[in-house]
Amino acid sequence: MISCSEAVQRLWDYLENDVEAAERDQVEEHLAFCRRCCGEMEFADQLRGVLADAAEASIPGDVEARLTRVLDDLAATRGETVWSHRTSEGDHLPRPERGGSR
């Protein structure tokens, strides 16, 4: 069985269904026996929901424009694809794929 620290490290990917089947099984096995980590998982899942709800709230246009400009500048300095997170109609654009390293 994996340790608490390993379970916590995999927690967000687990909640996003971004783990291999073997890793999912390991996390679920750990959660079945560890009350502390089970509580962490419940908290993280609730936090994820709150953050998702907050992401739907609109922000003032000038703040959004500044934030987008800063993020695009940062992406450009790192040699990453520059993208804006919303279209002019306000629709969310898909997030770029994650790189191999975290």
pLDDT at 11 (0 to 100): 87
pLDDT at 52 (0 to 100): 81
| Residue pointed to by tokens 């709150």 | 50
DSSP for 32-93 reads: HH-HHHHHHHHHHHHHHHHHHHHHTS---HHHHHHHHHHHHHHHHHTTPPP--SB-TT-PBP
The model scores a pTM over 0.75: no
| Run means of pLDDT, 10 residues per run, the chain, 102 residues | 90 89 94 90 87 76 85 76 52 46 40
pLDDT at 82 (0 to 100): 57
Domains (range + CATH), the chain? 1-82 (1.10.10)
